[in-house]
């Protein structure tokens, strides 16, 4: 980081945009309560909106120029497939694993606090936190019931915990850490759990013979393809989540890199999509697909 004193021209540009921006906002406030004319409020409203836009734009320009002059902001574009490693008590640990430990600890603490302080005070008519919790639990119960055929508490609670972990790891990104879901090893491990669950429930419901018979149905010749598509399930689940999360991260990093010192405000709007909405959709799809595959394995075919 170097501190070159900016030239006089740059200072004038900064001050000019700052003054003009403040002037536009002040002017907008002055005509905030317009007199009603024959044409109604419409022209005044249009003018106010224009001034508001001009003010925000000029202030943004000012902040960008200011940061640019001091060489602040503007980072180097750096994205790696594998996260950096850190040393904890002599073990080489991936930083995303450490972050996911933090998320797990925070979630466990939250669950404990909810159990001790909130759940004993539940009332007949849900309000506040109780309403949120009951909605979430019943949503995951309904999803399990719809996909699995009938209610299964163990499966529902596993997927609820998975959803909580994923949402927690998405929130971590807002604090500037690399989210654990952008690590292929994490997504692959949960996809492998799904793979184990598919086979466990398939064998539990139909027995070993029934599970093996499902490969040769309807014709014996398609057995290799069915086996292959079963083996592809964890890989496709893992790659889908990993690719989506990494893609969002790369896009946001690219925007920071391209805007340089002007990356004030605009990345926040993008982040709302790439850090909040998009991950939630992907987590829902991960859980939905896992349940669909499990439901497919236990399906009764005559």
Partner 1 sequence: MTDIGLIAIGAGLAVLTGAGAGLGMGIATGKAVEAVARQPEANSKINALLLLGLALTESTAIYGFVTALVMIFTMGK
Q: Which residues bind partner 1 (CB under 8 A)?
A: 79-81, 236, 239-240, 242-244, 246-247, 250, 281, 284-285, 288-289, 292
Residue with tokens 């490693």, as numbered in its chain? 85
Beta carbon of residue 240, minimum distance to partner 1 (angstroms, whole number): 5
To partner 1, the closest distance from the beta carbon of 69 in angstroms equals 33
Q: How far is the CB of 50 from partner 1 (least distance, A)?
A: 36
Task: Please say which residue, 41 or 284, places its beta carbon nearer to partner 1.
Answer: 284
C-beta of 7 vs 189, nearer to partner 1: 189
* Shortest Å, Cβ 203 to partner 1: 25
Closest distance to partner 1 from the beta carbon of 259 (Å):
22
Distance in Å, CB of 267 to partner 1, minimum: 21
Pick the closer one to partner 1 by CB: 158 or 242: 242
Q: Dihedral angle at the C-alpha atoms of 96, 100, 102, 108, nearest 10 degrees?
A: 180
- If the CB atoms of residues 130 and 288 are measured against partner 1, the closer one turns out to be 288
Least separation, in Å, of the C-beta of 130 and partner 1? 25
133 or 250: CB nearest partner 1: 250
List, in order, residues 6 or more apart from 203 with CB less than 8 Å away: 211
Which C-beta is closer to partner 1: that of 80 or that of 269? 80
């Amino acid at each position: 980081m170097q501190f070159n004193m900016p030239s006089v021209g740059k200072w004038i540009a900064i001050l000019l945009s700052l003054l003009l921006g403040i002037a536009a906002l002040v002017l907008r406030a002055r005509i905030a309560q317009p007199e009603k004319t024959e044409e109604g409020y419409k022209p005044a409203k249009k003018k106010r909106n224009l001034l508001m836009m001009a003010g925000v734009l000029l202030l943004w320009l000012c902040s960008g120029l200011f940061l640019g002059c001091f060489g602040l902001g503007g980072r180097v574009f750096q994205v790696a497939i594998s996260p950096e490693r850190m040393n904890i008590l002599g073990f080489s640990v991936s930083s995303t694993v450490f972050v996911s430990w933090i998320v797990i600890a925070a979630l466990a603490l939250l669950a404990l606090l909810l159990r001790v302080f909130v759940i004993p005070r539940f009332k007949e008519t849900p309000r506040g936190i109780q309403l949120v919790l009951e909605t979430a639990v019943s949503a995951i119960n309904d999803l399990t019931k719809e996909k699995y055929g009938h209610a299964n508490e163990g499966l529902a609670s596993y997927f609820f915990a998975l959803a909580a972990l994923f949402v927690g790891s998405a929130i971590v990104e807002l604090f500037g850490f690399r989210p654990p879901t952008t690590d292929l090893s994490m997504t692959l491990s949960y996809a492998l759990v799904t793979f184990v669950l598919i086979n466990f429930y398939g064998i539990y419901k139909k027995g070993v013979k029934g599970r093996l018979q499902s490969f040769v149905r309807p014709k014996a010749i398609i057995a290799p393809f069915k086996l292959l598509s079963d083996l592809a399930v964890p890989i496709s689940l893992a790659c889908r989540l990993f690719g989506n999360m990494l893609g969002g991260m790369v896009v946001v990093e690219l925007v920071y890199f391209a805007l340089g010192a002007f990356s004030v405000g605009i990345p926040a709007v993008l982040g709302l999509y790439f850090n909040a909405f998009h991950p939630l959709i992907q987590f829902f799809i991960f859980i939905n697909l896992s349940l669909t595959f499990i439901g497919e394995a236990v399906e009764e075919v005559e």
